[in-house]
Structure 1
Amino acid sequence: MIFRRSLVSELANTAGAVFTVIFSIVLTIGLVRILGLAAGGRIDSGTVMEMVVYEALVNLAPLLAVSLFIAVLITLTRSWLDSEMVVWFSSGGISLVSWIRPVLRFSIPIILLITALSLVISPWAKGQSEMNREVWSQRDDVDRLSPGRFIEISGGKQVFFIEEVSADGLSVKNVFLTETDPKSEMVLMAETGEVTTNEQGDRYVILHDGRRYEGKAGTPEYRVTEFKTYGIRLDVKPESAIQMKDVDTQPLPLLVMQKDNLEAQGELLWRISWPLAALNLILIAIPLSFTNPRAGRSLNMVVALLLFVLYLNGISVGRTWVEHGTFHLIPAIILLNGAFTVLAVVLFLRRTIMQRWVPVWLTLSYWRARK
């Protein structure tokens, strides 16, 4: 039918615009955070774009769900404000329930994508992100020295700044080092240096032609020492296997097998709830879009925002309940998502059968008219 084709077309345009805006904001925030981690030496600067992609995949399922909800709400609200709904209802013999089919026709492929993202792709992306961090944290301190950046080494006790590093990574120029302990502080500057390994396999940075300042902040007791050669031992991380222990990075089959692990069951609820939430939210958006053209769209938008926040908090609370053993997984899923399904049904009944929240004979105006 004409109204179905026009609805699907407008939904696609609106959903694309909404998703682009929300995704751009989230992606920018994630990029700034990851650049901060790279600047602080917590991740490899060469993996910044890779980490941004993983960050986007982790957040994609909730973003698609909220974009779909907003798109349906905005599209149908515009139809009410422009009185298109009245035309369809009066001349086309269409009821509000008739809008479910075209909305689902547009939404089902996106909900299937949300399902794949929530159950499989997002956990994999988070696991890859955590693995990159673990690999970087296990590298030797000397491998983490990069020109033009302040890098923490030796468990945060020392901070290095190197202006230049040779192509082979064995020679450095213009070195700044600060070291702090409870009793004193040390600042060291040198013109050149080199990386060497002794007979025992310990790695050192040998600095040349520099000065060492040692003392305690706030006191005049400072010593200045000039040196020709100064050696600094670098920590070497022991090699160990990288294990992904967090449940939010584990694959779906592994979570399903951990029936006695409450944390794994809570993670399952989180993953399963997002596609169900997307379905419930678009069904709620259809009757919620009703707007009096004279009243504007503000009220239903506020209600929609509150419902989404309530749903999001409900998923988080449900996850906590399952993790603490208050509810089992299946009852928690049914209770949480079933409550919003019932709400959708009530809203449809309100707009199709029950034109009032309460019967007319229960209102004061009805009894005043009978007098």
Structure 2
Amino acid sequence: MIYEKALRRELSYTTGGVFLVLITIMMTTLVIRILGYAATGSVSPKDVIILIMLAMIGYIAVILSVSIFIAIIFVLIRWHKDSEMVVWYASGLNLKMLYYPVLRFALPWLIVISAMSIFIWPWSNAKTTEISQKFKGRDEASMIVPGQFFESANSGRVFFVERINSISNEIQNVFVTDFRNQRLTVAMSESGYIENLPNGTKVVKIFNGRRYEGKPSEGDFKILEFKQYTVDIEKKAQSPIHLSSKESPTLELIENPSPIAKGELLWRIGLPLMALGLMLIAVPLAYVNPRRGNYIALLYAVFIYLIYSNLLNISQTLVSDAKESFTNLIWPLHVLAFLVAIVLVNHRLNPSIVWWKRQIPGGTKI
């Protein structure tokens, strides 16, 4: 049917436009947040692009749900305002028949949203955690930044290197202090390099410099000149990566009886169900009286989405805190959304009859 093809084509274009806008806003927010982490030393500046892309991939399911919801409302509002729905109704079609082209358009995207929520979301979170923990577990040589003072993990050693050749590992204008056993050692040199030993450890070797050794507040300092001075690099033990419920695969969550795992599983399953509920609500919600020509339905749509998503998060929290069971909260919210869609459709089909009578079989005759 020409109208169905036109509707699906317009829904595709509008969904793409809304998705681009939302993805741009989300990317801007993520760039600011992750650059802040890089500035404070929580993540490596080299990993910023990867972390942004992983975060974007994780949020695609949510952005797609919102994009399709808004696109359906935008397109149907325009069809009502431009009297295209008048032609639809004049052809013997009613509002319920709009669900066929809308759901036919949305079904592939619902499959994508389900796959992103169940499989891609935990994968992106796990990769993000892996990158962050590897950065935190790197050795001191990797933490040295040219032109900046670096304090070691045990707060007993400070490095300063003016320049580093990333290819040859040569360093220039080196300053190293080491405070142990109440004695301060300061070594300075114009050149040196970072050496990788066969056992996997690293050392900093500096040449033709001076070393000052003594105890603060006392005059027993020693000044020594050296041809070569070696500083051992402390290597952190790589701790095993422990995955939280957000990073765990869905199959592991199903087998895990803990409340936190069940709460995360409820959210992953609930996201595609929420997307379907929003699509069902969007069709009758987008009704606009052509004589009024307003977009009040968009305001209702914002409130419905906020209420729906917050209730889903509350359900997840209740299950995670073991205040409610998984089976008790997995279905009521989504059944309520489907009932709201039915009530709205019946209201649009018979707008002149009191809403509660339209829900009773034969109530239109009362």
Question: Aligning the two structures, in what range does the TM-score lie when normalised by the shorter sequence?
Answer: 0.7 to 0.9
Query: Cα gap change, 1:61/1:226 in structure 2, threshold over 3 Å: closer, same or farther?
Result: farther
Corresponding position of 1:131: 130
Amino acid at match of 1:133: S
Q: Alignment partner of 2:242: what SS?
A: coil
Corresponding position of 1:315: 312
Does the 8 Å contact 1:127/1:244 carry over to 2? no
Corresponding position of 1:167: 166
Query: Cα gap change, 1:191/1:24 in structure 2, threshold over 3 Å: closer, same or farther?
Result: farther
Does the 8 Å contact 1:41/1:144 carry over to 2? no
Does the 8 Å contact 1:244/1:250 carry over to 2? no
Q: Distance in 2 between matches of 1:194 and 1:55?
A: 37
Q: Distance in 2 between matches of 1:305 and 1:177?
A: 58
Amino acid at match of 2:111: L
Query: Cα gap change, 1:172/1:290 in structure 2, threshold over 3 Å: closer, same or farther?
Result: same
Q: Alignment partner of 2:268: what SS?
A: helix
Alpha-carbon offset, residue 96 of structure 1: 0.7
Amino acid at match of 2:241: Q
The structure 2 residue matched to 1:338, chosen from 319, 335, 339, is 335
Corresponding position of 1:28: 28
Alpha-carbon offset, residue 41 of structure 1: 3.6
Does the 8 Å contact 2:77/2:295 carry over to 1? no
Corresponding position of 1:7: 7
Matches within 5 A, 1:166-245: 166-168=165-167, 170-174=169-173, 192=191, 194-195=193-194, 205=204, 234-240=233-239, 242-245=240-243
Gaps of 5+ in 1: 181-186, 213-224, 361-371
Q: Distance in 2 between matches of 1:87 and 1:40?
A: 60
Does the 8 Å contact 1:39/1:150 carry over to 2? no
Q: Distance in 2 between matches of 1:294 and 1:157?
A: 77
Corresponding position of 1:116: 115
Q: Distance in 1 between matches of 2:32 and 2:343?
A: 43
Q: Distance in 1 between matches of 2:344 and 2:160?
A: 62
Q: Alignment partner of 2:171: what SS?
A: strand
Are 1:247 and 2:240 counterparts?
A: no
TM-score scaled by structure 1? 0.79
Alpha-carbon offset, residue 357 of structure 1: 4.5
Query: Cα gap change, 1:117/1:157 in structure 2, threshold over 3 Å: closer, same or farther?
Result: farther
Alpha-carbon offset, residue 154 of structure 1: 1.4
Q: Distance in 1 between matches of 2:327 and 2:302?
A: 27
Alpha-carbon offset, residue 334 of structure 1: 0.8
Higher mean Cα deviation, 344-353 or 280-289?
344-353
Are 1:305 and 2:302 counterparts?
A: yes
Q: Alignment partner of 1:164: what SS?
A: strand
Higher mean Cα deviation, 116-125 or 21-30?
21-30
Amino acid at match of 2:20: T
Corresponding position of 2:17: 17
- The C-alpha deviation readout for 1:225-272, integer Å capped at 9, x for no partner, is 9997898764320133x33330111111110001x2000000001100
Aligned length: 344
Does the 8 Å contact 1:40/1:151 carry over to 2? no
Query: Cα gap change, 1:145/1:76 in structure 2, threshold over 3 Å: closer, same or farther?
Result: same
- The C-alpha deviation readout for 1:36-95, integer Å capped at 9, x for no partner, is 333444333333332222111111110110011011010101111112112221x21111
Q: Alignment partner of 2:246: what SS?
A: helix
The sequence identity of aligned pairs, in percent, is 32
Q: Distance in 1 between matches of 2:154 and 2:75?
A: 54
Corresponding position of 1:78: 78
Q: Distance in 2 between matches of 1:236 and 1:27?
A: 35
Gaps of 5+ in 2: 180-185, 213-221, 358-366
Does the 8 Å contact 1:8/1:103 carry over to 2? yes
Q: Alignment partner of 2:172: what SS?
A: strand
Higher mean Cα deviation, 170-179 or 243-252?
170-179
Amino acid at match of 1:171: E
Higher mean Cα deviation, 2-11 or 131-140?
131-140
TM-score scaled by structure 2? 0.80
